[in-house]
Each structure stands twice: as C-alpha cells, then as structure tokens.
Amino acid sequence: MGMPSMPELLVILAIVVLLFGAKKIPELAKGLGSGIKNFKKAMREDEEEVANQPKKEIEQESAASTTPSTTTQETTKA
C-alpha cells in the first residue's frame, strides 16, 4: 500500500470537515502544533541538562543503579 491518491485524500478531508466542522480544524491544528513545539523544547532542554551534567555525577549514578541496596542484602542474609 502506497500513498493515498488525490481522490482518497479529498474524501478523508471531507469526512474530517463533517466530523469537526470548519471552525474547529484550525484550533485542532494549532493545539497539535503547540504540543509538538513543547515536546521538542523539553527534549532539547533535557539533552542540554545531560550534556552539562558533570561526568563524575554520571559515573556515580550508574554505579548506584548497579549496586543492590542494603535492605536487599540484609533480607537475603536473614
């Protein structure tokens, strides 16, 4: 199945207009666009935060995640 042809796209567009109305479609598009914009902004901020995090902190976090907690060790000994 490839891309839909022009008549198929027109039928889909007509169904969308019937379902949502002509006034609601720009509002939906605006909401979708702002959601994507906010998502990209959050991803960019997260990448910057990780890049600015000192290497020593990253090593400490990875060591802490692989080491079992003391409560787990205590329960296995008992």
Which band of pLDDT confidence, cut at 50, 70 and 90, is reported for residue 47?
confident
The whole model's pTM is what?
Answer: 0.47
How far apart (Å, rounded) are the C-alpha atoms in residues 18 and 24? 11
Contact between residue 25 and residue 16 where contact means Cβ atoms under 8 Å apart: yes
- Residue 42, CB half-sphere, CA atoms under 13 Å: how many? 6
The per-residue pLDDT for range 6-39, each reduced to its tens digit, is: 999 999 989 988 988 888 888 988 999 999 999 9
pLDDT on residue 62: 67
pLDDT on residue 22: 84
How far apart (Å, rounded) are the C-alpha atoms in residues 47 and 34? 20
How far apart (Å, rounded) are the C-alpha atoms in residues 9 and 23? 20
